[in-house]
Structure 1
Amino acid sequence: MDRLANTVRPYAWGSTTAIPELLGTEPTGEPQAEMWMGAHPGAPSRIDRGAGPVSLAEAIDAEPEAELGPDTVRAFGPRLPFLLKLLAAGSPLSLQVHPDLAQAREGFADEERRGVPLDAPHRNYKDAHHKPELIVALTPFDGLCGFRHPAQAADLLEGLGIDDLTPYVDILRATPEEGALREVLTAVLGAEHHAIAGTVERATVAAGQRAAEGGPHADAYAAYAGIAHHYPGDPGVLAAMLLNHVRLQPGEALFLGAGIPHAYLSGLGVELMANSDNVLRCGLTPKHVDIPELLRVVRFEAGDATVLRPEDVAGEEVYDTPVDEFRLSRFVLAPGGAPRALVSRTPQILLCTAGTVRLHRADEAPEQSPEQSPEHGGTELTLAPGESAFVRAGEQLTLSGAGTLFRATVVA
Structure 2
Amino acid sequence: MKWRPLRLKNPVMHYEWGQRGKGAFIPRLIGLHDWDENLPWAELWMGAHPKAPSRTEIEGREAGLDELIHSFPEELLGNRILNKFGAELPFLLKVLTAAEPLSIQAHPDAQRARELHRLQPEHYPDARHKPEIAIALENFECLVGIGSPEILENKLRKYPEIRKLVAEDIDPTRPDSERIFKKLISLSIDAPDRIEEAVNALHKRLLTKSRDSLERMEKLFLSLSTKYDHTDVGLLLIFLMNHLALTPGDAVYLGPGIPHAYISGAIVECMANSDNVVRAGLTPKHKDARTLLLIADCSSAPSVIHSASENPVTVYETPAPEFRVTRYNCREEYTVHIAPGTLPVMIFILEGKGLIRWGPGNSEKLTTGEVAFIPAALQSCQLGFYPGTIAFSVHVP
Q: Tell me which interval the TM-score lies in, with the shorter structure as reference length.
A: 0.7 to 0.9
Please state whether the residue corresponding to 1:383 is helix, strand or coil: strand
Q: Does 1:90 align with 2:99?
A: yes
Q: Does 1:57 align with 2:40?
A: no
State the 1:204 CA deviation: 4.0
State the 1:386 CA deviation: 1.8
- Conservation of the 8 A alpha-carbon contact between 1:210 and 1:221: no
- Conservation of the 8 A alpha-carbon contact between 2:354 and 2:367: yes
| Distance change in 2, residues 1:302/1:222 (3 Å) | farther
- Conservation of the 8 A alpha-carbon contact between 1:20 and 1:27: yes
| Distance change in 2, residues 1:27/1:161 (3 Å) | farther
The one-letter amino acid paired with 1:320 is E
- Conservation of the 8 A alpha-carbon contact between 1:68 and 1:392: yes
Give the Cα separation in 2 of the matches to 1:349 and 1:130. 21
What TM-score does the superposition give when structure 2 sets the normalisation length?
0.87
Corresponding residue for residue 195 of structure 2: 196
Q: Which runs of 5+ in 1 are unaligned?
A: 365-378
Residue from 259, 262, 281 that aligns with 1:261: 259
| Distance change in 2, residues 1:167/1:400 (3 Å) | closer
- Conservation of the 8 A alpha-carbon contact between 2:53 and 2:66: yes
The one-letter amino acid paired with 1:98 is H
Give the Cα separation in 2 of the matches to 1:186 and 1:357. 48
Please state whether the residue corresponding to 2:386 is helix, strand or coil: strand
Corresponding residue for residue 338 of structure 2: 342
Give the Cα separation in 2 of the matches to 1:81 and 1:267. 26
Q: Which runs of 5+ in 2 are unaligned?
A: none
State the 1:239 CA deviation: 1.9
Matches within 5 A, 1:359-398: 359-361=356-358, 363-364=360-361, 379-393=362-376, 394-398=379-383
- Conservation of the 8 A alpha-carbon contact between 1:97 and 1:260: yes
State the 1:5 CA deviation: 0.4
Please state whether the residue corresponding to 2:303 is helix, strand or coil: coil
Q: 218-227 or 2-11: which moved more?
A: 218-227
Corresponding residue for residue 300 of structure 1: 298
Corresponding residue for residue 327 of structure 1: 324
| Distance change in 2, residues 1:61/1:130 (3 Å) | same
Give the Cα separation in 2 of the matches to 1:167 and 1:226. 22
State the 1:401 CA deviation: 1.5
Please state whether the residue corresponding to 2:356 is helix, strand or coil: strand
Q: 86-95 or 221-230: which moved more?
A: 221-230
The one-letter amino acid paired with 1:334 is R
Residue from 20, 28, 33 that aligns with 1:21: 28
The one-letter amino acid paired with 2:383 is T
Corresponding residue for residue 408 of structure 1: 394
Please state whether the residue corresponding to 1:331 is helix, strand or coil: strand
Residue from 48, 51, 57 that aligns with 1:42: 51
Matches within 5 A, 1:1-400: 1-16=5-20, 17-25=24-32, 26-29=34-37, 30-109=39-118, 111=119, 116=120, 118-119=121-122, 123=123, 125-160=124-159, 162=161, 165-168=163-166, 171=170, 173-174=172-173, 177=176, 180-190=179-189, 192-204=191-203, 206=205, 209=209, 212-213=212-213, 218-233=215-230, 234-301=232-299, 303=301, 305-310=302-307, 316-335=313-332, 337-343=333-339, 344-361=341-358, 363-364=360-361, 379-393=362-376, 394-400=379-385
| Distance change in 2, residues 1:338/1:139 (3 Å) | closer
Give the Cα separation in 1 of the matches to 2:150 and 2:320. 32
Please state whether the residue corresponding to 1:339 is helix, strand or coil: strand
| Distance change in 2, residues 1:222/1:150 (3 Å) | farther
| Distance change in 2, residues 1:207/1:283 (3 Å) | same
Give the Cα separation in 2 of the matches to 1:239 and 1:188. 12
The one-letter amino acid paired with 2:396 is V
State the 1:62 CA deviation: 0.6
Give the Cα separation in 2 of the matches to 1:210 and 1:172. 32
State the 1:24 CA deviation: 3.6
Deviations 1:61-108 (A, max 9, x none): 011111001111111111001000010111111110111112222333
Please state whether the residue corresponding to 2:304 is helix, strand or coil: coil
Deviations 1:211-253 (A, max 9, x none): 7326xxx334334444434435222111222211111111111
The count of residues paired between Structure 1 and Structure 2 equals 380
